[in-house]
Amino acid sequence: MRARNYIVGAAFALLAGGMAHSALAQDIKIGEINSYSLLPAFTEPYRKGWQLAVEEINAAGGINGKKLVVISKDDGGKPADAQTAANELVSSEGVAMLTGTFLSNIGLAVSDFANQKKVFFLAAEPLTDAVTWSKGNKYTFRLRPSNYMQAAMLVEAAAKLPAKRWATIAPNYEYGQSAVAVFKKLMSEKRPDIQWVDEQWPPQGKIDAGPVVQAVAAANPEAILNVTFGADLVKLVREGNTRGLFKGREVVSFLTGEPEYLDPLKDETPEGWIVTGYPWYSIKTPEHDAFLKAYQAKYNDYPRLGSIVGYQTIKAAAAILAKAGSTDPEKLITAAEGLSMPSPFGEITFRKIDHQSTLGAFVGKTALKDGKGVMVDSSYKKGSDYLPSDAEVEKLRPKD
């Protein structure tokens, strides 16, 4: 029997290896990986964002006269599959660099792959601090503000609240754990008088919201930190509203102001939460206006935060490629370190010290307007203002 087995295996392997060489040799290719099938709510707008960027770049003459091509792969939410995709992009598509990823563990897996195979990797979305610090490496850069930066932005507002008794609700995985840890640390530094009275760790995607809400209420906190998002957030908010958990309590919440997570709440949006997010309807800067107009013209839809991330990832990749004038990874690193560029949120810089971009986020409060959730009183927080000192960063990051 085995005879047939191996022949079939060889045939499939050949088939897989010989696929898709559609792009022309003189094009510049970028390999893009994301969890398209697992997280469509985020990745669909993200895809639209980067497709817009590719169109704009090529309409403006490409990269130093060469056409930009993005080859996109799905990782299905699994680190091992992301590595298979990365390998295909690098070995058989011959891409100049890798970009993308959403989940932290996938970001780390691809970053480790990039380090091993000496490939330039621009992480778009993964938030874990490890990407640029404890597990940072020479080949990996990151666009989005990290967990630490978002926590620092929220702490600035949270520390002004009179509340002394705090409880936390966070999904039980690395993102939730490190968001709570950083928030607690920074908060306790600023406000030594704070007590942490309860913590809840529902499994990601499987919150049993009723008992969780009840347990938090029983600890009688004055303020609550929330890190859940997506479907878990919906359940938490619904149970919390019905059971009166949020009444008379301050809530500080990661990411809740992003349209991806705020819009589904509709008329059940809780008011007055302090959140990070993206109020696309109230940003009045020329950079953002230009982006918004182009996006709405192309898709007849409003942008989500994912659109910004996708758009800026490819814009940043193009800027790095243009400056390097080469696809050699070492030259790309030299070009990227300290490179400044425009973005819909204003100018950003990729720091030389830890390869983190200074893209920031908006902090504001949630409110209800015409039966929909919005962010009000929002202001843009520059990433560069919420990073620790260089001396601390050097201690956090292994030497290359």
Partner 1 sequence: MAFYVVQFLTGLASAASLFLVASGLSIIFGVTRIVNFAHGAFYMIGAYIAFTLTERLSGAFGFWGSIVLAAIAVALIGVLVEMVLLRRIYHAPELFQLLATFGLTLMVEDLVVLIWGPDDLVGRRAPGFRGAIDFFGQNIPSYDLFLIVLSPVVLGILWLLFQRTRWGVLVRAATQDRDMVAALGVNQKWLFTSVFAVGVFLAALGGALQIPRDAVHHAMDLRIIVEVFVVVVIGGLGSIVGAFVAAVLVSELNAFGILIFPKISIILVFLVMAVVLIVRPWGLFGKPEAPARKTPGLTVNPWRPLTSNERLMALAALVVAATLPLFAGNYALTVGSEIAIFVIFAVSLHFLMSVGGLASFGHAAYFGLGAYGVAFLAKMAGLPMIVCLLLGPLLGCMGAAVFGFFAVQLSGVYFAMLTLAFAQIVWSIAFQWVSVTGGDNGILGVWPERWAASPSHFYWLALGVAALVTVALRAMVFSPFGYALRATRDSLLRTEAIGINAKRIQWTAFVIAGTTAGIGGALFAYLKGSVFPDNLGISLSVDALVMVLLGGVETVSGAVIGAIVYKALNIWLVSQTDLSKLVLGGFIVLIVVVFPKGIVGMLEMLAQRRRKASPPGSPLLAKPIESAE
CB of 229 to partner 1, least distance (A): 10
- Count of residues that interact with partner 1, criterion CB under 8 A: 86
Tell which phi-psi region holds residue 94, choosing left (phi > 0), alpha (psi between -120 and 50) or beta: left
CB of 83 to partner 1, least distance (A): 5
92 binds partner 1 (CB under 8 A): yes
Residue list 8-27, contact with partner 1 (CB under 8 A): 8-10, 12-20
CB-based contacts of 371, cutoff 8 Å, min separation 6: 266, 267
Q: Which of residues 44-63 bind partner 1 (CB under 8 A)?
A: 44
To partner 1, the closest distance from the beta carbon of 284 in angstroms equals 26
DSSP one-letter code for 121: E
DSSP strand pairing (372-381 vs 165-169) = unpaired
- Judged by CB under 8 A, the stretch of 152-160, 263-271, 285-293, 323-331 that binds partner 1 is 263-271
| Alpha helices, DSSP H, located in the chain | 2-17, 40-59, 79-87, 104-117, 147-158, 174-190, 209-218, 231-243, 259-262, 286-299, 305-324, 329-336, 390-396
- Footprint of partner 1 on residues 155-174 (CB under 8 A)? 172-174
Q: What is the dihedral of CA 251, 227, 386, 272, to 10 degrees?
A: -20
Among the listed ranges 148-156, 260-268, 337-345, 354-362, the one in contact with partner 1 (CB under 8 A) is: 260-268
Give the binding range for partner 1 (CB under 8 A) out of 127-135, 187-195, 346-354, 358-366. 127-135
Q: Which of 109, 119, 182, 255 binds partner 1 (CB under 8 A)?
A: 109
- Cβ atoms of 353 and 394 closer than 8 Å: yes
Residues 301-360 that bind partner 1 (CB under 8 A): none
Applying CB under 8 A, the span of 128-136, 322-330, 351-359, 382-390 interacting with partner 1 comes to: 128-136
Q: Provide CB contacts within 8 A for 232, sequence distance 6+.
A: 171, 202, 204, 205, 206, 207, 209
Choice from 51, 99, 128, 147 touching partner 1 (CB under 8 A): 128
Shortest spacing between CB 200 and partner 1, in angstroms: 5
The label of the residue with tokens 């490819």 reads 314
**301/347 with CB nearer partner 1:** 301
**For residues 185-224, which are near partner 1 according to CB under 8 A?**
198-203, 205-206, 208-212, 214-215, 217-218
Which two tokens mark 51? 């497709």
Q: Which of 9/325 has CB closer to partner 1?
A: 9
Q: Which stretch binds partner 1 (CB under 8 A): 70-78, 288-296, 328-336, 352-360?
A: 70-78
DSSP state letter for 269: P
Residues 274 and 363: their CA atoms lie apart, in Å, by 7
Rounded to a whole number of angstroms, the minimum distance from the CB of residue 24 to partner 1 is 19
CB nearer to partner 1: pick between 64 and 195? 195
Using the minimum distance from each CB to partner 1, give the nearer residue, 185 or 266. Answer: 266
Among 21, 160, 190, 266, binds partner 1 (CB under 8 A): 266
Contacts of 358 (CB under 8 A, 6+ apart): 348, 349, 350, 351, 382, 383, 384, 387
Stretch that binds partner 1, among 87-95, 248-256, 316-324, 357-365 (CB under 8 A): 87-95
Query: Which residues 224-243 are close enough to bind partner 1 by CB under 8 A?
Result: 230-231, 234-235, 238-239, 242-243
Nearer to partner 1, 123 or 157 (CB): 123
Tokens of 225: 């930190």
Q: What sign results for the dihedral spanned by CA atoms 125, 129, 135, 137?
A: positive
Rounded to whole angstroms, what are the CA distances from 329 to 132, 205, 259, 313? 18, 38, 35, 17
Scan for tokens 């967990």, then name that residue. Answer: 147
Q: In whole angstroms, how close is the CB of 261 to partner 1 at the nearest point? A: 8
Q: For the chain, how many helices (H) and strands (E)?
A: 13, 14
